[in-house]
Chain A
Amino acid sequence: MTTNIPQTNEPQITDAEANLELKEIEGLSQGQIVRKRFFRHWGAVVSMIVLAGIVVLAFTSVGISAGPVRIAGWWPYDWTENPRPVNGGVPSWQHPFGQDSIGKDLFALVMRGTQQSLMIMAMVGIIGATIGIVIGALSGFFRGFVDAALMRFTDVIITIPFIVIGAVIGSTFGKLGAFILALVLGLFSWTGLARLVRGEFLTLREREFVDAARVAGASNGRIIFKHILPNAMGVIIVNTTLLMAGAILAETGLSFLGYGVQAPDTSLGLIIAQNQEAFQTRPWLFWWPGLFIITIALCINFIGDGLRDAFDPRQKRMPSARAMQRADAENAIAADAAALRGSDGADAASETADDQVPTLPQASGPDALPPRSEDAPGDADGRR
């Protein structure tokens, strides 16, 4: 055992596991590895399917109505018309989600609300991520004066809590429709991402591959887009999903307070606000929109978790006990074979693998993973 300690950088206890990991990712590109790890997270995969189902349901059922574009859906009712109440609005075959006090079909209302919430979520995600990436990349890459100016600007915006700035924006722009609201909300939601991206850039720009690119004569733009940005993509994608999950809760909260989407259009938060007094008499008016908000936010959060696991294996999932045993046995076989060939220290390797297995739950560090080490990307920098 003492013989092979000086030679290895890897802690021996990760032998079985490293073997397993190595075999799993052998000959795969970075994208393939990430995809493979993501699809292993069944919570994220189920969430993706559910979310896709909700998107399809929301946009086909009541159709699309954006500005001059009107596409009818397959659902017979609209969220603006109020048909005669059937049986006091209790959920029935005709109105599966029930009707509200003036007879509006709740399924149509909830579908329209879901559309608006999804649209606002996507807009905030896209706009916030774009601005955040640009500002973070510029200040992280160029540092100096650019960095100072942009970060002080970020500080100014970040000082205002999102719900406060959302309420002020909503009371000004809420009347102009959900699209404008989403646009303006997006303009104020990039601050957290900008700081993180800046932190990433500050660490990555010191790495050797950036020096190599610069020596090879790459322009700043090429270094930013082709060399650094792809490496920062994990942080960006994960935090964009978190931003979107926050956005949907912020939007529904603002609509609930009356600063978000305004009647006659509707949103999930607005439906709840309009009907919270009716909980005793018509509880379905309250349950359905709430369940849709939770489902969407939960799905986004789970997808974000799956992406985090895929990009950042520091808190990765343990291989199952059986997989560990199999890898362990393979290790032992390899060690036996090596021993037969007369190589020393091989049985030591199998020994360590054996007696370390029980402690493995605590021993799944980042050092067990050969590719691309993403250790603590500028945590301290990112916070400032």
Chain B
Amino acid sequence: MATFIVRRLIAAALILLAATFLMYNMVAYSGDPLEDLRGVQTPQTAQLIEARIRLLHLDVPPPLRYFIWLSGIGGCFVGQCDFGMTIQQQPVLAVLLNSMDQTLRLVTIATVLAIILGIVIGITTALRQYSTYDYGVTFISFLFFSLPIFWFAVLLKQFLAIGANDWFQTGARIEWWVIALVAVVSGLFWSSVLPGDRRRKAVTFALGFLAGGLVLWYMSVSGWFLNPRFIVFGLDFSMLTIAVLMGAMALVVTAILAGFRHKRSMWIALGVAAVGAALYYPVNYYLFNPQVVPMTFWLLAILGVVTVLVGVGAGWVFGGENKSTNMKVGGWTAFLVGAILVVDRHMQLWQAYSQTGFVRGRPIATIGASNPGFSDSSFFVQSVDAFTHMLLPSIALMVISFAGYTRYTRASLLEVLNQDYIRTARAKGLTERTVIVRHAFRNALIPITTIVAFDIAGIIGGAVITERVFGWTGMGSMFQNGLDRVDPNPVMAFFLVTGALALLFNLLADIAYAALDPRIRVS
């Protein structure tokens, strides 16, 4: 294994060397870097040209100039990275770090959500193969596959940003026919996803219809979209709603991971949820209060890890005979409960945020990564601001990439479900939950893992068009600015990061594949 990894790493380094050489020359020969200076005839022109030639070593032909660039990169190994200068005389390294920060923010959440959503929908379509739901999702994913992202992004800007902001300003009421439509869709969705005979399906449809319609109607009447709290007769019932939501999460986690027959797992999950609900006020008054704890992203991440560990610990302590399952149940419940607390903290700020002077009741932004007016605000206000800026590009990216995951998951799970060992598992009387979750889903995940690994490598460089449409200054815009000005240094910085990540994750995908599927041996 070790020799395999070392050999692959050496091969990757050589490949990267060749690819960067190719790329450098292609960019350098794509135009004239002095074009903008040659156009104007002023007394300083000759001087400026001279200065730029010296700055960027333009007197050296590109194939040799590549080695100047390479020696700067090679300095990274002795702690002195030199990515060169851009044509505007900024150090590329600073631009690169700033761009990476923006791109990671933009793309990470979109990719994670697309993966989760794609896998969940893929599983449900595979389990309900050839149902109306399956055909509907298939058609929609083909449509999403075929969407040009720039076109879709402009549509989003028009309808979801401008339209939604107008809607926020006129009271955020939902038309009755929208409520009816959503209710029907919700009824159809649940009745086609949940199992049962015709009568039970009719009941599911009615319940889904009522639930969807009532929730939306309540949201519309109470102005939930302007102030996402649950206020009835002037009393804030949000805490109660959150407690119920946490309990529901606990039950869902139990249903998927353990099944309700295992009462112990259910009580552990509910216990974790109860602790989360009990901590609601302490967390909001102390931990999430910027005057008490100066929250940062990393602190929040550490708290998240601690929360999950507490859940896992609860599963371990009270796990009984079934420790490993109960640890999983506890961990996942704790994660979801913590996530609900964090989301709720942001929702508390929504109304105040959208009525500040910088926003003036039009919260959803179409351009840029953040509103500079909030640079001194607390962490949570800044994340609400980040959310309003990320909403549109994230939806665009998600829609484009989620279609692929749905199809892969569906195909992969169907192939597994046709295997003989699934028939054996059913024949020996295992519950359907065990067959799907333990036997089928785990094996179906193996090919998906590799695709996910490739995509994670692609995310950092894969949003060139989206960044352009939404005016983010991330990796994509660094690449484009460099290319437009025939400036290889920023382009190469972009490419070095994306190429190295692609090769690294390619290797990781192979290792993961070998680790997950014992039939494949790396050599």
| A-B pairs with lowest CB-CB distance, top 9 | A297-B146, A172-B30, A290-B151, A365-B418, A298-B146, A159-B19, A156-B18, A256-B150, A159-B499
Chain A 32-59 interface mask (CB, 8 Å, partner B; 1/0): 0000000000000000000000000000
Chain A residues lying within 8 Å of B411, measured Cβ to Cβ, are 315
The answer to whether B483 has its CB under 8 Å from any CB of chain A is yes
Cβ-defined contact, B27 with A168, below 8 A: yes
Chain B residues lying within 8 Å of A301, measured Cβ to Cβ, are 142, 145-146
The answer to whether B112 has its CB under 8 Å from any CB of chain A is no
Cβ-defined contact, A161 with B15, below 8 A: no
The answer to whether A272 has its CB under 8 Å from any CB of chain B is yes
Known A159-B502, A161-B458, A168-B27: A384·B510 in contact at CB below 8 Å: yes
Cβ-defined contact, B154 with A279, below 8 A: yes
B residues whose Cβ falls under 8 Å from a Cβ of A: 11, 14-16, 18-19, 22-23, 26-27, 29-31, 129-130, 142-143, 145-151, 154, 158, 411, 414-415, 417-420, 422-423, 447, 450, 458, 461-462, 464-465, 468, 479-480, 483-484, 491, 494-495, 498-499, 502-503, 509-510, 513, 520
Chain B residues lying within 8 Å of A157, measured Cβ to Cβ, are 19
Cβ-defined contact, A362 with B15, below 8 A: no
In the complex, A163 Cα to B154 Cα: how many Å? 20
In the complex, A318 Cα to B16 Cα: how many Å? 47
Cβ-defined contact, B23 with A293, below 8 A: no
Cβ-defined contact, B145 with A160, below 8 A: no
**What is the chain A residue whose CB lies nearest that of B162?**
A280
Could you name 7 residue pairs across A and B whose Cβ atoms are closer than 8 Å?
A: A171-B484, A172-B31, A272-B148, A272-B154, A294-B146, A294-B148, A301-B142
Cβ-defined contact, B151 with A163, below 8 A: no
Could you tell me the distance in whole angstroms from the C-beta of A353 to the nearest C-beta in chain B? Answer: 16
Known A172-B29, A294-B143: A160·B464 in contact at CB below 8 Å: no
Chain B residues lying within 8 Å of A160, measured Cβ to Cβ, are 19, 22-23, 495, 499
The answer to whether A136 has its CB under 8 Å from any CB of chain B is no
Could you tell me the distance in whole angstroms from the C-beta of B504 to the nearest C-beta in chain A? Answer: 11
* Chain A contact residues, majority secondary structure: helix
Could you tell me the distance in whole angstroms from the C-beta of A309 to the nearest C-beta in chain B? Answer: 12
**What is the chain A residue whose CB lies nearest that of B157?**
A279
A159, A169, A289, A298 — which one has the most chain B CB atoms within 10 A of its CB? A159
Cβ-defined contact, A164 with B158, below 8 A: no
Known A164-B479, A168-B483, A318-B130: A257·B464 in contact at CB below 8 Å: yes
In the complex, A168 Cα to B491 Cα: how many Å? 10
The answer to whether A314 has its CB under 8 Å from any CB of chain B is yes
A residues whose Cβ falls under 8 Å from a Cβ of B: 11, 152, 155-157, 159-161, 163-165, 167-169, 171-172, 245, 249, 252-253, 256-257, 259, 269, 272-273, 276, 279-280, 286, 289-290, 293-294, 297-298, 300-302, 305, 314-315, 317-318, 361-366, 379-380, 383-384
Cβ-defined contact, A302 with B142, below 8 A: yes
Chain A residues lying within 8 Å of B150, measured Cβ to Cβ, are 252-253, 256, 269, 272-273, 276
Chain B residues lying within 8 Å of A302, measured Cβ to Cβ, are 142
Contact of A168 among B26, B158, B499 (CB under 8 A): B26
Chain B residues lying within 8 Å of A164, measured Cβ to Cβ, are 461, 464, 479, 494-495, 498
Cβ-defined contact, B465 with A257, below 8 A: yes
Cβ-defined contact, A293 with B465, below 8 A: no
Chain A residues lying within 8 Å of B503, measured Cβ to Cβ, are 159
Cβ-defined contact, B414 with A269, below 8 A: no
Cβ-defined contact, B417 with A171, below 8 A: no
B130, B148, B414, B510 — which one has the most chain A CB atoms within 10 A of its CB? B148
A164, A363, A365 — which one has the most chain B CB atoms within 10 A of its CB? A164
In the complex, A122 Cα to B495 Cα: how many Å? 29
Cβ-defined contact, B417 with A362, below 8 A: yes
Known A256-B150, A290-B151, A293-B151: A159·B16 in contact at CB below 8 Å: yes
Chain A residues lying within 8 Å of B513, measured Cβ to Cβ, are 380, 383
Chain A residues lying within 8 Å of B417, measured Cβ to Cβ, are 362
In the complex, A301 Cα to B138 Cα: how many Å? 12
Chain A residues lying within 8 Å of B464, measured Cβ to Cβ, are 163-164, 167, 257
Chain B residues lying within 8 Å of A257, measured Cβ to Cβ, are 464-465, 468, 480
Chain B residues lying within 8 Å of A290, measured Cβ to Cβ, are 148, 151
Contact of B498 among A161, A363, A383 (CB under 8 A): A161
In the complex, A7 Cα to B473 Cα: how many Å? 68
Could you tell me the distance in whole angstroms from the C-beta of A123 to the nearest C-beta in chain B? Answer: 19
